Structure 1
Amino acid sequence: MAAPAVTGPILTLNNGVKMPALGFGTFANEGSKGETHKAVVHALNAGYRHLDCAWFYQNEEEVGSGIREFLSQNPSVKREDIFITTKVWNHLHEPEDVEWSLKDSLEKLQTPYVDAFLIHWPIASEKNADRTVKIGSDGKYVINTTLTNDPSPTWHAMEKLYSSGLTKSIGLSNFTQPQIAKILTYAKVKPAINQIEIHPFLPQQPLIDYCFSRNILPVAYSPLGSQDQVPGTGEKVSTNKDLIAVAEKNGWSLAQVLIAWGMKRGYAVLPKSSNEGRIKGNAKLVELSQEDFDAVNKVASGRWSRFVNMKDTFGYDVWPEEATK
C-alpha cells in the first residue's frame, strides 16, 4: 500500500500551481553521507509531499536518490505528486549561471523539472573559473555590486527558465519588502514565493502582510526556531515556557504547535530533521484553538530575533537596520 500523503492544507501559488503547506527542509549541517537520503525517504513515507532543496546544500544527489527509492516502493505515487523546490546560490546570478545552476540541480535531483526555483539570497557575488565562490582577501565573498543593486538580469533569466518549463514557478528567498518592490517594477512573471525565516521569535508580520497583498506566498524556513540563544537574553524558542505550556496542555510536541501556528497564519512551513521519530511527529498536523493561537501570538508580540544571517560569510548584511535592534 502506498504511503499516505499528509492531509494538510494545499496552497495555490499566483500562477495556479498547488503547493502542500507542509514541506520538508533538506539542509543538513552534519553533511554525513547518506543522512539526507534516509531523511527524504522517511519524510516521504511519513506523508510529506513537498521537499525544499538548494544548490548550496550540496546534497541534491541524495535527495534525488531518496525520491527514486520512495517512488520505486510506492508506484501509485508519481513525481508530479511531489513538490520540489531548489534555489540558485549567490555566485551564480549571471544569466548563463542561473541556467547552469538549475540544470545542475535537475541533473542531481534526477528530475526533468522542479516545482519552484528561487533566488536564495538578494546578494550576488563573484565566481571563480570553475564556478566556485570567489573569496576575497578578507575571507568573505566578493560581492558583485552591479547585480546586487540591479538583479533584473538574474530575474529575467529566471523568467526564461519558467517559460521553458524547467520550473513550474519562480520566486525569492530572504528578500525584504523594498527588494521585492524593485523586482515587481520589471517582472514579466511575478515572484510566486518569498521564503523567509519565520517563528515566534521572528514573526515577520509586516513582510508577511506585504507578500500576501502582492499575491506572493510566504514560506517559512526555521519555523521551529533555533537551538541558538537570543543574544543578550539567552532565551530559546525551544525552552519558552509559554510555548511549552500550549504543547503540554494539548499533549502535543512543541514542533507541532509551531507548525500549526504557521499554517494558521496562512503560509507554508518547512520543518527539518534527520531523526525518523521527529520527522513522523512533525507530519502529524494539529490545529490550534483561537485561545492557543492567541497564546503563541502573545509570545511573538514585539519580538525580532533573527537566527539566520550569513553576513559574516558574505561580507554583506541584508538587514543592516537590525544591528541597532
Structure 2
Amino acid sequence: MNLEFITLNNGLKMPMLGLGTYPLNRLKLLKSIWIAQNNGYISIDTSRSYGNEKWIGRSLKLINLFNNQKLFITTKLGNSDQRKGNVRKALKESMDRLGVNYVDLYLMHWPNPDTYIASWKQMEVLYKEGLVGAIGVCNFHKHHLEKLLKEAEIVPAINQIELHPLLTQEPLRDYCKSKGIQIESYSPVARMDPKLIENPLLVNLSKKYNKTVPQIILRWNIENKIVTIPKSGTKNRIIENIDIFDFKLTSDEVEQINNLNEDYRVRYNPDTVDYYKV
C-alpha cells in the first residue's frame, strides 16, 4: 500500500486519505485510531464541535509511546467559538485537548455569515505565527469564497465539503481549482445511503475490480484529486478504506461516476443550516 499525497497551495504535503472521526468518541475512537495508524493512516480529522479532541489526544499519547508515529492532525474552529470571537483561545483549547503545540491543518467549520470574515483574519495571524501548518474552510459555497477572497490576505488551502457521487459539486470544484484551493470530501460514501451503495454502475465496477462499492467511491475521489476522510469504527472497514492504492479506474469510468450526480445531500446545506445547531 502506497499512500498518496497532495501538495497544498502553501507547499504543505497532505495525505490524500485520512480517518474521519465524527461521531466516534472515547474508547471506540481510541481503538479506531490505533487500528488506523497500524494500517497505514497518518491523517486524522476532528473538530472542536465533535467533542472528541480529548480522546484523540489520548490516542496520540499512546501512539507516541509505542510507535513514535507523526500524524497529520486536522481540527476545526466551531461556530460557538466563532461567535465568541476569540479564535486564538479556541485554537489553544483545541491544542490543549489534543496534547499538541502545533496543528497541521486548522479549518473554519462553517461559513457563519456574521463572523466568518473576522474569524478568517484571526486564523491568518495564527498561521503567520506558525501555530498551524495551513488554514482552510469547510462547507463554503462559491459565494462564500468570493466574499472571503475579497478580504483575505491568505487563500484557503482547503475547502472541506460534503462530496460523493450523488453530490459531485463540480462547479464548486472547478472554482476552487481556479483559485488554488484543494477540495476535501467528507461523507464520501454518503453515510452508506442505499441509493448510492446499491447503484448498478458502482456494483458492477466493484465486481470488475474485486473491490467493495465504498472502495470504488474512495478511488474515484483519488482519481479526481480529492482528499477524502471516510469515517469508520470497524476494524475491517478501516483497513478496507485505505486499501485503494493498488488499482485505478479508467477515465471513462471516472466520468460515468461523475454523471451519477443528483445534487443529493445527506448532510446540511450551508445556506440553510441553523448555525446554532452545528
Q: TM-score category by the smaller chain? A: over 0.9
> Aligned equivalents of 2:110 and 2:158: distance in 1?
13
- For 1:194, the equivalent position in structure 2 comes to 159
- The aligned counterpart of 1:98 is 87
Scaled by the length of structure 2, the TM-score of the pair is: 0.92
Deviation at 1:299, TM superposition (A): 2.4
Q: Secondary structure at the match of 1:46?
A: coil
Aligned residue type for 1:38: K
Equivalent position to 1:18, from 2, 7, 13: 13
Runs of 4+ in 1 over 6 A off after TM superposition: none
Does structure 2 conserve the Cα–Cα contact (< 8 Å) formed by 1:246 and 1:295? no
Aligned-CA RMSD value = 2.0
Distance 1:68 1:287, change over 3 A: farther
- Match of 1:294? 255
* 1:95 and 1:157 in contact (8 A); partners too: no
> Residue 63 in 1 paired to residue 56 in 2?
yes
Q: Whole-Å Cα distance in 2 between the matches of residues 13 and 283 of structure 1?
A: 21
Deviation of residue 211 (structure 1)?
0.5
Match of 1:210, SS state, is helix
Aligned positions of 1:27-106 closer than 5 A = 27-28=22-23, 31=25, 33-75=26-68, 77=69, 79=70, 82-94=71-83, 96-106=85-95
For 1:273, the equivalent position in structure 2 comes to 232
Structure 2 Cα separation of the partners of residues 25 and 292 of structure 1: 26
Q: Partner amino acid for 2:105?
A: A
Is 1:223 the counterpart of 2:188? The answer is yes
- Contact 1:226 1:236 survives alignment (8 Å): no
1:241 is displaced (CA, Å) by 1.9
Query: Structure 1's 173 and 259: CA in aligned 2 closer, same or farther, altered over 3 A?
Result: same
Q: Greater relative contact order (Cα 8 A, min sep 6): structure 1 or 2?
A: 2
Query: How many Å apart are 1:210 and its aligned residue?
Result: 0.5
Q: What is the alpha-carbon distance in structure 2 between the residues aligned to residue 84 and residue 153 of structure 1?
A: 24
Indicate if the aligned counterparts of 2:83 and 2:115 stay in contact, CA closer than 8 A: no
Structure 2 counterpart of 1:140: none
Unmatched 5+ residue regions in structure 1?
1-5, 124-147, 229-234, 318-325
Q: Which runs of 5+ in 2 are unaligned?
A: none
Q: Which has the larger radius of gyration?
A: 1
Distance 1:149 1:11, change over 3 A: same
One-letter identity of the residue aligned with 2:231 = K
| Preserved CA contact (<8 Å) 1:197 1:222 | yes
The one-letter code matched in structure 2 to 1:196 is I
Q: Deviations over 1:205-241 (max 9, x none)?
A: 000010010000000001111245xxxxxx6212212
Deviation at 1:249, TM superposition (A): 1.5
Verify the 8 A CA contact 1:94 1:154 in the aligned structure 2.
no
**How far apart in 2 are the matches of 1:253 and 1:151?**
39
TM-score, normalising length: structure 1: 0.79
Q: In the alignment, residue 216 of structure 1 is paired with which amino acid? A: I
Provide the C-alpha distance between the structure 2 equivalents of 1:223 and 1:158, rounded to a whole number of angstroms.
Answer: 27
